[in-house]
Amino acid sequence: MRFSSTAGLSPSVDLAEALRRGLAADGGLFVPDALPPLPRSFFDELPGKSLHESAGAAIVHLLGDSLPAAVLRSVVEDALDFPVPLVRLGGRVHVLELFHGPTLAFKDVGARFLARLLAETRGGELTVLVATSGDTGGAVAQAFFGVEGTRVAVLYPRGKVSALQERQFTTLGGNVRAFAVDGVFDDCQRLVKAAFADRDLGRRLGLTSANSINVGRLLPQILYYFHAAAQLEGYRAAAGPPLLFSTPSGNFGNLTAGLMARALGLDSRFIAATNVNDVVPEYLRTSIYRPRPSVPTISNAMDVGDPSNFVRIRHLYRDAPERLHDHLVGRSYDDGETAAAIREVDRERGYLMDPHTAVGYLALRDVLPERPPETAGIVLSTAHPAKFREVVEPVIGREIELPPQLASRLGHPVLSEELGNDVEELKARLLDWEPAA
């Protein structure tokens, strides 16, 4: 498997180089040169397969010429050591719970997989530089925590992530360093991209990214779309039912992975479900991409005004909106609608959602009736509701018990450094860092 830049101005690279660089030399994002469809036998045998079985077969198909199949299967088994269950809410509505990993967010899938891929392919010391609007920081920090020869720098918008999210990456110390940036997530993302654009800095620090701009974070997210189909009652490769995924979307890595799963042969359509930061739903309505400053919401991990992965989607569809429209629709919802959905589903179905999952549920509720009656609807549930208890508890009128993964972080001091919204200051801080242990 070779990887090329979405900007089209750099030569293609192998897997190891794509993982190490994170961002292409021309500033574009790496994408697979090809997505060869999985064989029919993969889908015929998919029903009832375990996560390790389906994910192992799919990743060997994708990357089997880059690493030995036994190594790739071992990476899958080690990284994905938690369940990803499909829960039926009623009728045609299902929820794929992606939050049973160590940081209770779907980002655990990509971060843990990337950490193990880098261990197999890297050469020399690494500095992992990542921007987060909430869950990515904790997932990446814990995936790389204590890894020899690796340092992790997490940039996050000061005061704009939940207290529990913040504690998952600011209480570790060791080889993890957290920077509270004076700005919003888009500023953090801009600083990370500017640091990667400095080739001398990248060479001196061995910079790589664990945001979904790194293709190694993105590829494993493809795998759970197949696992959803494997768990769906009555699913058959030739007979369906066709799948409609509602994907809560901020930086759009999760949705990009879904569209790649479709390119690999999964019979599926998608909803880009966003909060009021709706630049992609607007694009799907108007064919005009108009990035703008993000607006704070209660689904804060989706507060992104210029989602970096959307360039991958446009590249995958050759920047042809009419082709993209065949597979993707967009919907957006405000905080009032999101809170109402949390309350409604809790009372009527006894199921508790976090704000991001609630946005996905709203979109599926509105779009699924427009699809053929045999269509199965699947909401991707991206985080445990306890991570957003300051939002969810007032809505449902009761306390949420903290899972052990969250409760264990409350007794640790916060280790965070304030950082101005300035790339030169960031570079200076990184260069002052002691060598990785």
Residue 277, pLDDT score: 97
- For the chain, domains (ranges, CATH) are 84-105+218-396 (3.40.50.1100), 107-217+410-431 (3.40.50.1100)
Strands 207-209 and 176-181: unpaired
| 185-211 pLDDT tens trace | 889 989 998 998 898 999 899 888 887
Handedness of CA 63, 67, 69, 75 (dihedral sign): negative
Residue 435, pLDDT score: 58
Q: Does residue 432 sit in helix, strand or coil?
A: coil
The pTM of this model reads 0.89
Nearest Cα residue to 327 out of 213, 224, 225? 225
Nearest Cα residue to 128 out of 27, 29, 19, 26? 19
- Contacts of residue 133, defined as CB under 8 A and 6 or more positions apart, other chains included, come to 156, 157, 160, 161, 185, 188, 250, 251, 300, 301, 302, 303, 304
Name the token pair of 191. Answer: 């600083």
Q: Which residues of the chain have pLDDT under 50?
A: 437
Residue 338, pLDDT score: 98
